[in-house]
Structure 1
Amino acid sequence: MFHANTRLSVFGSAFTLLLAMPAVATCADPKAGQMKPESTGTSAPVAPSSAPPGPPTLAPAAVPPAPELCGPGSAIKFDKTAFPESPVIDNKWFPLKPGMKYTTTGAVESEGGTTERRVTHTVTGLTKVIDGVKTQVMWDRDYQDGALVESELAFFAQDNAGTVWLFGEYPEEFEEDKFIGAPNTFIHGISGSQAGIAMQAAPRTRTPAYVQAHAASVGFLDCGLVFDDNIALCVPKGCYGDVLVIDEHNPLEPNVGHQRKYYSAGTGLVKVTAEGGVNQETLDLTRVEHLTDGQLAEINQQALELDQHGYEVSKDVYANTARAEITTTTSGGKK
């Protein structure tokens, strides 16, 4: 069907309206066209807005202060951006150089009698990234009456200010030379565990206690306090002056008592004694070794196997970490 052009009809109606306008004006009221009187300047009241008021502006939520787990002034102040890309731990009280091995020996006095102890502390050539920080891996092996009771990887890093931090531990336990598990594993950032201070950059007496690490999931809370300094003592390895004494305890286990750890500048831990508690533990530094490159290679491989085993044993904690890597193969010792 043919449709008429609507555009012509529209324009035609408008033209007709324009032609009729003069006649309309002629018949208009005589007052039409007169100017309206000027305003008196008084504005009419503005009606209130009927829009409902918006929601009140909320102040940002306050961040709760970090708990002072070891007393006033002990809140953990951890900043993962304050660490170098690669770990260098040269704090004079807590030096950790790959290829160094320290042996401490002593005993534990308990109601059941005396147990002989020997602990080897080896700084491996492994590193492990924890919460974005590359840590140095230390391997401790604890023997009681000649039998291995614990094989532990511990993870340390030194911040740019010189403070050494403990990021966690993976301790495998043994009974009668048989592996029984690693129930006390904790890693910073997993299950609420927090890194703590292993050694302050500039420890001083009469300063607040500090948290050495906190892992509520395994009941771990170590508190450190600079107890004394500038003392002299002798152990089987030798005599040391200017020794620093750190008092340590776990407030969650008051029956365990306190430990006193003695550190010599340039060497590190040289002695451990007990104050109170049901078990009295003492350890003395007896040997310091600088491993050869070949010995370090063996240590690295064994520690790497222990790290890999952790992924099978601790599926909820350790399996959520990055795998350790061999980053140092030269110890600087004799071939």
Structure 2
Amino acid sequence: MIYPPGVSGPPLLPDFDPPAFVLPTLIDNPYFPLMPGTVYTYSGQFDEDGETVTETSRVFVTPDTRNIAGVESRVVRDTEFVNGILAEDTFDWYAQDVVGNVWYMGEFTTSFEYDDEGNLIGTSNEGSWEAGVDGAMPGYIMLANPQVGDHYYQEFFPGEAEDEAVVVALNQSISTGLGDFTNVLQTYETTALEPDAREFKYYAPGIGLVLIEEDLDEDLMDPGLTVELTSVEVIPAPAALPLLIVGLGALSYVRRRVR
């Protein structure tokens, strides 16, 4: 396993306590906000056998929730396309505790396999997991108060899902096609299940994930694929929903005041 300088010891597997979740689907962590109706689009390109391959992901924060291990969790749908063809369709589940940590509660993922003519020949749900099922445990996807050197599991289902993250920096400045961002949080992610899978992720306050550098070399440089946030859209809510969102926003303000 390769880590950034200064990292020692195993990642933290956080203690999961369902009573610590009061308004779990109100996710307002500045580095990982999930407002229902928001659509994030990401895109990146890489070369394969002399041809340019384009990866595009559409991440939709749905209005739906699902009870995971006794905690109501927000459903986020992530659809990934390779050269315009659906490659993966994932439903992720997230919840925020009273402190402001955002937890990754599980995922149901379907990957699609095609033949050389583009015909669908199979699907797989490998990598799916749910907290509380068969010993799977949730982890942090974003800390309430991240500090450089924090090292933690994002998910823990032995042999199936063991992603971990390290906080690398808190004040990065980056530029993408979408604009310039400051006070950016940088994390490093890897997994014991695929030690060669190494990537940096960059989160802008008030927006969330804006840049991913994947397939880093052993010096944690020279990414094989760079994926950028290209757009953020909000799908108009039904007539009654804006009042609900306003009410939740007020509760969020009160909660922050009493922390």
TM-score range, shorter chain: 0.7 to 0.9
Residue 93 of structure 1 is matched in structure 2 by 31
1:100 and 1:255 mapped to 2: Cα distance? 32
2:158 and 2:241 mapped to 1: Cα distance? 36
Residue 268 of structure 1 is matched in structure 2 by 208
**Relative to 1, partners in 2 of residues 1:286 and 1:78: Cα closer, same or farther, differing over 3 Å?**
same
Bigger radius of gyration, 1 or 2? 1
Residue 251 of structure 1 is matched in structure 2 by 192
Residue 27 of structure 1 is matched in structure 2 by none
1:85 and 1:95 mapped to 2: Cα distance? 14
1:267 and 1:142 mapped to 2: Cα distance? 20
User: How far off its partner does 1:253 sit?
Assistant: 1.2
3-state SS of paired residue (1:81): helix
> Which residue identity lines up with residue 169 of structure 2 in the other structure?
D
User: How far off its partner does 1:279 sit?
Assistant: 8.3
Q: Is the 8 A contact 1:82 1:159 kept in 2?
A: yes
User: How far off its partner does 1:76 sit?
Assistant: 2.3
> Which residue identity lines up with residue 231 of structure 2 in the other structure?
R
> Which residue identity lines up with residue 201 of structure 2 in the other structure?
K
Structure 1: runs of 5+ lacking an equivalent: 1-69, 298-327
Q: Is the 8 A contact 1:125 1:329 kept in 2?
A: no
1:255 and 1:112 mapped to 2: Cα distance? 23
3-state SS of paired residue (2:229): strand
Q: Is residue 2:152 matched to residue 1:214?
A: no
> Which residue identity lines up with residue 190 of structure 1 in the other structure?
V
Q: Is residue 2:232 matched to residue 1:288?
A: yes
For residue 145 of structure 2, the aligned residue among 202, 221, 229 is 202
2:233 and 2:53 mapped to 1: Cα distance? 25
User: How far off its partner does 1:239 sit?
Assistant: 1.1
1:186 and 1:85 mapped to 2: Cα distance? 23
Deviates more, 1:275-284 or 1:181-190: 275-284
> Which residue identity lines up with residue 215 of structure 1 in the other structure?
F
2:137 and 2:170 mapped to 1: Cα distance? 28
Residue 112 of structure 2 is matched in structure 1 by 174
Q: Number of residue pairs matched?
A: 228
1:238-283 alpha-carbon deviations (Å, 9 max, x no partner): 1111111010001221122x11000000000000003227982320
1:294-329 alpha-carbon deviations (Å, 9 max, x no partner): 6xx9xxxxxxxxxxxxxxxxxxxxxxxxxxxxxx95
User: How far off its partner does 1:78 sit?
Assistant: 1.4
User: How far off its partner does 1:107 sit?
Assistant: 2.2
1:131-151 alpha-carbon deviations (Å, 9 max, x no partner): 110000000000011100001
Matches within 5 A, 1:38-53: none
1:106 and 1:154 mapped to 2: Cα distance? 21
**Greater strand share, structure number:** 2
2:150 and 2:48 mapped to 1: Cα distance? 32
Residue 135 of structure 2 is matched in structure 1 by 192
Structure 2: runs of 5+ lacking an equivalent: 1-7, 246-259
User: How far off its partner does 1:113 sit?
Assistant: 5.5
3-state SS of paired residue (1:293): coil
For residue 154 of structure 1, the aligned residue among 75, 80, 92 is 92
User: How far off its partner does 1:186 sit?
Assistant: 0.4
Percent identity between the aligned chains?
Answer: 31
> Which residue identity lines up with residue 163 of structure 1 in the other structure?
N
**Relative to 1, partners in 2 of residues 1:90 and 1:110: Cα closer, same or farther, differing over 3 Å?**
same
2:24 and 2:212 mapped to 1: Cα distance? 30
> Which residue identity lines up with residue 211 of structure 1 in the other structure?
Y
**Relative to 1, partners in 2 of residues 1:115 and 1:71: Cα closer, same or farther, differing over 3 Å?**
farther
1:171-228 alpha-carbon deviations (Å, 9 max, x no partner): 11112363513122100011111100000001111x331000012252x211111111
Residue 41 of structure 2 is matched in structure 1 by 103
User: How far off its partner does 1:234 sit?
Assistant: 1.1
State the TM-score, normalized to the length of structure 2: 0.81
**Greater helix share, structure number:** 1
2:11 and 2:93 mapped to 1: Cα distance? 25
